[in-house]
Chain A
């Protein structure tokens, strides 16, 4: 049986999520209050679209909420997203609920009210912008754990000051480890005496936003 996913609200986010999820083989139902947004969502093949207020129990019922496996609340209002998740959870027993949140200070409150996963758009986007502004193509960063930890891919170019050095000779911040070295077609989990060569790709795992310093140390920029 297909996994049923419910998307409530959200304009472009709902559409791109719906496209991506249907491609991955999930069945997507979308609820949207705005009629025009509904028409746009209905352009996607095999998505069920319902025009209505997703914070109302009977609208959720129309969306067959009891059969939903994952409910994702994407509206622009924090209070609506909380109510959507709570109704899904407590009235329709949806297994997993995800809420988009604008105000990062409310993250703990959302978790304490039983929302399974809280995505804070504001802090996630500002983190990414900050990282992009500082690093500009030098590295790819993936924030995890609400941005407290990040995994970074750092290419070692020929001008890098660390070429030929052993890992323990490099002065990396304490909160950073090199988790993997990608060299050509091989991957290796490095030890302290592993040497870094030009053309290597290092995978860094760092916490407490130490990655910028580490990347500077590795690339010399």
Chain B
């Protein structure tokens, strides 16, 4: 399936910022689904986590730097996922993407959910590992409790 040919609104082009375990895993999945994906990380070594079959692009640099975002063709992106280990960096990139480059969808990871209140108005989706983990553990517990009876 091809998009409508509008270069500006590339339907599949995704940028993943931060190539840690989560970033690399997401990038691999996008690539496996034949998506157009680019990963940015400050450290070249981080890209080792990408699978050998990874078919996307990589850029070494600080995603808060305009020149790095330009190199990554941010204006073409349909989705940005910012999952570096620094909450404030993720917030910064997300706002830059929404405000300056009008990227349609932005998802970020925040370790500290307290900061979230500031960002939901900007159309930025946030996920918080602590809350997700707590929910998952709670779910396991409630399933176990439910079984014997």
Contacts and interface: CB of A to CB of B under 8 A. Distances in A.
Contacts, number: 48
A78 B112 contact: no
Contacts of B138: none
Interface string B44-87: 00000000000000000000111000000000000000000011
Given A79-B92, A83-B88, A109-B99, A103 B65 contact: yes
A55 B115 contact: yes
B100 A109 contact: yes
A57 B88 contact: no
A79 B86 contact: yes
Interface string A80-100: 101100110011000000000
A55 B66 contact: no
Interface string A53-92: 0011110000000000000000001111011001100110
Given A55-B88, A83-B92, A105-B66, A90 B118 contact: yes
Contact of A90 (B65, B92, B99, B117): B117
A91 B118 CA distance: 7
Given A56-B112, A113-B95, A113-B99, A87 B64 contact: no
A112 interface: yes
Sort chain B's interface into a size bin: 10 to 19
B114 A83 contact: no
Nearest to B117: A91
A79 B99 CA distance: 15
Contacts of A90: 117-118
Nearest to B91: A83
B88 A80 contact: yes
Contacts of A77: 88
Interface centre among A79, A86, A113 (most CB of B within 10 A): A79
Given A103-B65, A109-B99, A87 B92 contact: no
B89 interface: yes
A83 B26 CA distance: 26
18 contacts: A55-B87, A55-B115, A56-B115, A57-B115, A58-B114, A78-B64, A79-B86, A80-B88, A82-B91, A83-B87, A83-B88, A83-B118, A87-B118, A91-B118, A103-B64, A109-B95, A109-B100, A113-B99
Given A87-B115, A113-B95, A113-B99, 7 more contacts: A57-B114, A82-B95, A83-B118, A91-B117, A105-B66, A109-B99, A109-B100
Enumerate the 4 nearest inter-chain pairs by beta-carbon distance, A residue then B residue, closest first. Answer: A79-B92, A79-B88, A57-B114, A83-B88
